[in-house]
Structure 1
Amino acid sequence: MKRKLEGHIIAVPLQDNTFVTSLVIRQNGSISLGYFFKERYTELPTIEQWQPSEVILIALFGGRLGLKNGNWQLLGQLPQWDRNEWQVPILRQQDPINTSVYYAAMYDNDIKNFTRKIISEEEAKTYYLYGIYGYKAIENVLNKLLFS
């Protein structure tokens, strides 16, 4: 049986040989929803030392391959993990054809059911971008956000 990652901290490598961390707040099969934090580490913290910092990305990802091949490292589960303290956020989507149309992308609390509704561009700016990524794509997005 696969390990449930919810409540676990994962270290994700960056292009400059530092790491950022992610807290997996939900999992549905092989898809996880994580909050990725801006603080960079040259040495990984222990689970007891870890503290959340500014959120730089919230994303759905299939990161098991990154863990399986050793690119990503599992630091452990938060000792006081309470899923109710970490909300499933509303994310934004932009229509790929009519780029003036934006959507609020909403999952239920278990990230099993998905709905969306049209929102204004101003409201869209208040949400993180919606996306489902593989582990390498997450690394690329984080590198772009931190080094561009």
Structure 2
Amino acid sequence: MKLPYEEGSVFAMPLRNGGFARGVVGRSTHVGRVLLGYFFGPRLETSASATLDHLHADQAVARIRFGDLGLIEGRWVIIGKVPNWDRSDWPIPDFVRRDPISKRAWLVRYSDSDPVKSVSEPLLDYDDLQGLDGDGLFGAGAAEIRISKLLARSGG
């Protein structure tokens, strides 16, 4: 089956509280299923109002690993590709995994070629990893909820 997306694809993801957010496929596995995505505000009224401009990795409101079901089913609409796509401009970020009970935290790094494969998880001080996105794998619905909440909080 040919996947409807590739690295650099820009898509409009429906938000649970109305409107849409733009997302960029930063990495994918060779067979699909798990992607690393960058998500952007502000909230858009319609998917047709989503554009390909002003998308830069360092301006994303969130970077998450997620399942591709929304793209496969067509609920998340592909609107194009990042102009002059260069994957080195969209690096896989570091993530943090925290255990609030033990007060331990891990810096999680994934393979540049496979967003499923963790390549290192050093244990670090619980409070040292501020500002990093939490490690996890979101289903399409959970990703919609996460981004909807983030944009609602930021006013975007």
The TM-score with structure 1 as length reference comes to 0.86
1:117 aligned residue: 122
Give the direction of change, closer, same or farther, for the CA distance of 1:13–1:146 in structure 2 (3 Å limit).
same
SS class of match (1:146): helix
User: Once the 2 structures are TM-superposed, how far is the Cα of residue 51 of structure 1 from its aligned partner?
Assistant: 1.9
Stretches of structure 1 that go unaligned for 5 or more consecutive residues are none
Residues paired across the two proteins, number: 145
Query: Amino acid of the residue matched to residue 84 of structure 1?
Result: S
CA distance in 1, matches of 2:53, 2:20: 13
CA distance in 1, matches of 2:9, 2:128: 31
Stretches of structure 2 that go unaligned for 5 or more consecutive residues are none
Query: Amino acid of the residue matched to residue 125 of structure 1?
Result: Q
User: Once the 2 structures are TM-superposed, how far is the Cα of residue 97 of structure 1 from its aligned partner?
Assistant: 4.6
Give the direction of change, closer, same or farther, for the CA distance of 1:37–1:46 in structure 2 (3 Å limit).
closer
User: Once the 2 structures are TM-superposed, how far is the Cα of residue 40 of structure 1 from its aligned partner?
Assistant: 1.5
1:74 aligned residue: 78
Query: Amino acid of the residue matched to residue 18 of structure 1?
Result: G
1:26 aligned residue: 27
SS class of match (1:144): helix
Q: CA RMSD in A?
A: 2.0
Asked if structure 1 preserves the Cα contact closer than 8 Å seen for 2:19 and 2:43, the reply is yes
1:57 aligned residue: 62
Per-residue Cα deviation, 1:10-50 (whole angstroms, up to 9, x for no partner): 11111332111111110013110001112221133465x43
Query: Amino acid of the residue matched to residue 16 of structure 1?
Result: N
The TM-score with structure 2 as length reference comes to 0.82
